[in-house]
Amino acid sequence: MIQLDVTILGQPYRLVCKADEERALREAAAFLDKKMTAIRDGGKIKGNDRIAVMAALGMAAEFLSAKAPQGPLSDMSILDVQQKISAMHKVLDSALTPQENLF
């Protein structure tokens, strides 16, 4: 494990990660700092906690709308895939419910 220092919205943070994860963590911190700085500089939202929540919501929305570049699920977003899996679970659960009463 290694320690690294990053700055997010002008605030220093010391983080711990595996050596092979350092680059990804630095890039994630820089990405978050960029998002939070843009929100702060927009001037409509005050307070670092509110800025952090808005940045997290924006990034979560981007993540859930992301699509695979190729393959059988490339036409579906992550949210679409999650909804399909949930629907399949409901169908399977309803099909198995009558059998559970037999035991």
pTM check: above 0.85: no
Q: Which CATH architecture has domain 1-65?
A: 2-Layer Sandwich (3.30)
Q: What are phi and psi of 3, to 5 degrees?
A: -105, 140
Residue 56: which of 48, 46, 66 has the closest Cα? 48
Average pLDDT, whole number, for the chain?
A: 88
Per-residue pLDDT at 13: 96
Beta bridge partners of 7: 12
Q: Is the pLDDT reported for residue 26 higher than 60?
A: yes
Which of the two residues, 98 and 95, has the higher pLDDT score?
A: 95
Q: What is the CA radius of gyration of the chain?
A: 21
Write out the residue limits of the CATH 3.30.160.880 domain(s) in the chain: 1-65
Residue 52: which of 42, 43, 39 has the closest Cα? 39
Nearest-10 crossing angle of helices 48-65, 78-100: 80
Section 73-87 average pLDDT = 85
